[in-house]
Amino acid sequence: KNRIYFNLIQILKSLVLFFPHYNEPIRSANARPTRSTSDAADVIWSAHATGLSSANASAGLPSAADAVRPGLPVALPDDPADGPADAVPSAASAGTTVRPGHAGQLRADPGCRRAAPVRVHSAAARKVQPQVLPSRERAAHRDEGIGTDNKAIIAIISQYNTDELVEIGRQYEASFGKNLQECLKSELSGNFGDLAGSMFTSRYVKWAAMIQEAIEGCGTDEKALMDLIVMCTPADLDTVRKMYYFMYNKDMYREVSEDINNVHHWCIFLKRWMRLSKSDAGDPMADVNRLLKGDVHDFIEVICDAGPAKYDQINALFAQHSKNDLAKTIEKKFSGKMEQILLIGHYFNLHPQKAVCYILYRSMKGLGTNDTRLKNVTSLFRDLYCVGIAEAYRPFGDLRKDFKGDLSGNYEKLVLAVWHL
């Protein structure tokens, strides 16, 4: 059985040594990470008994080096209707640079209320301290086999943001020739293994892969697709689309549009959202009057087209001129997927963290847990919106209580740890 415990303990030890910020208190959601992980993997102890194939190669994804390589040039046509570009030009001719998971892209998004990813140290995570074993003892443990310390794995993942975990995984593979994601998935099992492994994938690589997974095959995972598209800011959508083309040589807008057609209103909403037509121009009261009429197309256009500042005004004015606030009105007028996509868009316009809360709530509401939705939103956004998540979730209930009621085992422990609950 593969041994991951020693590897991750040494990762934790190296990060304590090389990151002078380790003992800082919890950071603000607006803090910018400044640490380097260039030396982190040099001291990782590799205790895997057998070689493993690359997870990215088996899934048809870029290698770990490609996934985090700075300056990846990808060019697509300005108009989604123009279709995919014939080739990927040089960085100079493309005029744009994609850095998957790079915090600067998140902060540069005009009108976006999203913070850069942060490294948050929870009291629970700090309970697990690095243990150094002499090389002879490590070899003995490797040969005898002591299993995997899931507590250590959970603690390490919960202490570092996506950018840092990706770099650790890259250094690990460069040093030992084994893909850390694949090692984790082979050693761990079920939803726990899936979520743990995904944490070491670059944000935009896994975002594009999740969209592809949602639309591939005979059936479409419509709810997962709604989450993944509507949670995109304009900058995210542009970057994910470029990454999707780089990975699959297909235009994401066209692939999604052809998959959903225009059969349902939620499909129309999704296509309009991808047009990047948001603006703060215009009279908010005029949009409120449209919403008061209750026509579904008015709801689609207002929620998809209003920029954050304008939407704040629309939301406030609507509450003044209606018996119910806008969210409750949507709940009363619509149902099913149309209700959900309107509410995701509504909460996203107010603040993306509110939309994350709503998606988590819907993933656990009713019979059974929609693990795909829960894992997707946790893997993509836990380091962006963990600060204050419990308070933001209060309109829907108690997040910690809901997690503990729906999840179990190491899967539950990992989800609670990465959201710092």
Question: Which one-letter amino acid corresponds to residue 42?
Answer: D
Same domain, 11 and 156: yes
Last residue of a domain, one of 201, 219, 242: 201
Residue 110 lies in a domain: no
Question: What Rg, from alpha-carbon coordinates, does the chain have?
Answer: 22
User: How far is residue 383's CA from residue 376's CA, in Å, rounded to a whole number?
Assistant: 13
Same domain, 366 and 409: yes
Same domain, 3 and 15: yes
Same domain, 355 and 411: yes
Residue 38 lies in a domain: no
Are 11 and 41 in contact by the 8 Å Cβ rule? The answer is yes
Are 387 and 120 in contact by the 8 Å Cβ rule? The answer is yes
Whether the predicted pLDDT of 224 surpasses 70: yes
Task: Give alpha helix (H) positions in 365-408.
Answer: 371-385, 389-393, 399-406
Same domain, 270 and 250: no
At 66 the pLDDT is 41
Residue 153 lies in a domain: yes
Residue 2 lies in a domain: yes
Residue 307 lies in a domain: yes
Last residue of a domain, one of 219, 239, 260: 260
Same domain, 10 and 157: yes
Whether the predicted pLDDT of 55 surpasses 50: no
pLDDT digits (tens, 9 = 90+) for 355-381: 999 999 999 998 889 999 999 999 999
- In the chain, the number of structural domains is 4
Same domain, 381 and 413: yes
User: How far is residue 76's CA from residue 108's CA, in Å, rounded to a whole number?
Assistant: 20
pLDDT digits (tens, 9 = 90+) for 333-351: 999 999 999 999 999 999 9
Question: Which one-letter amino acid corresponds to residue 272?
Answer: R
At 127 the pLDDT is 35
Which token pair is 139? 């070899």
Domain containing 392 equals: 351-420
Same domain, 375 and 412: yes
Last residue of a domain, one of 157, 176, 201: 201
Looking up residue 180, the CATH number of its domain turns out to be 1.10.220.10
Residue 392 lies in a domain: yes
Same domain, 193 and 208: no
At 115 the pLDDT is 54
User: How far is residue 117's CA from residue 34's CA, in Å, rounded to a whole number?
Assistant: 11
Q: Please state the φ and ψ torsions of residue 293, each to the nearest 5 degrees.
A: -70, -25
Same domain, 225 and 237: yes
pLDDT digits (tens, 9 = 90+) for 190-216: 999 999 999 999 999 999 999 999 999
Instruction: Please state whether the predicted TM-score (pTM) of the whole model is above 0.75.
Output: no
Residue 68 lies in a domain: no
pLDDT digits (tens, 9 = 90+) for 244-295: 999 999 999 999 999 997 779 999 999 999 998 899 999 999 999 999 998 9
Same domain, 254 and 208: yes
Which token pair is 44? 């990782």
C-alpha distances (whole Å) from 382 to each of 120, 122, 208, 375, 415 are 10, 13, 17, 10, 9
Share of the chain above pLDDT 90, in %: 54
Same domain, 226 and 254: yes
Residue 269 lies in a domain: yes
pLDDT digits (tens, 9 = 90+) for 22-50: 333 333 333 333 344 433 343 222 323 22
Which DSSP string do the residues of 137-157 spell out, in sequence order? HHHHHHHH-----HHHHHHHH
